[in-house]
Amino acid sequence: MSGQDGNRESLVGFGHRVVDLDIDGTDDLSALDAVDAVFVEGGSPFFLLQAMRESGFDSAVTDAVRGGLPYVGMSAGAVVAGPDLEPLSTTSNTALGPRLRSTEGLGLVDAVVFPHYNSRAAQYTEVEALFGGRYDLVPLEDSQALIVDDDGSRIVPSELKG
């Protein structure tokens, strides 16, 4: 398995019960009150942020995380957790979020994650040149994870391999 199904199955394999929410639909976001963590999958960061804002998931998940709920973001799910998506505007299709009024992220972490660094190193060089003075950029390979907790932030080998 690969992609989203593989990530979901990996979480189940670790013994987690997975509750799916369609944030691009009309799912009841009160399900966040009954979970031990939130896992946000990848895709287009601009589409994902747009769906989060339009559904109210952005506020609901931000409040829940600030209240202690762990947040796990994969690819675009990690990008939207940061302060802004602007650095990804040169590498991701912004047209997939046509109703976004702002690229401001959830602000759960201070850094902008640049995912898939191992296959996009040349793009990162451009992003760093354009945005490195304004944002803390963190390039992550697919085999890595950024952990942010009370002890600070660090890059570790990823347990999930999609």
Separation between Cα atoms, residue 111 and residue 80, nearest integer Å: 10
Catalytic residue numbers, as ranges: 75, 116
Separation between Cα atoms, residue 50 and residue 56, nearest integer Å: 10
Q: 69: buried, middle or exposed (CB in 10 Å: 19+, 13-18, 0-12)?
A: middle
Separation between Cα atoms, residue 102 and residue 115, nearest integer Å: 21
Number of C-beta neighbours around residue 127 at 10 A? 21
What DSSP line would sit under 3-63, residue for residue? HHHHHHHHHHHTT-------TTTT--GGGGGG-S-EEE--S-HHHHHHHHHHHTHHHHHHH
Instruction: Count CA atoms within 13 Å of residue 87 on its CB side.
Output: 29
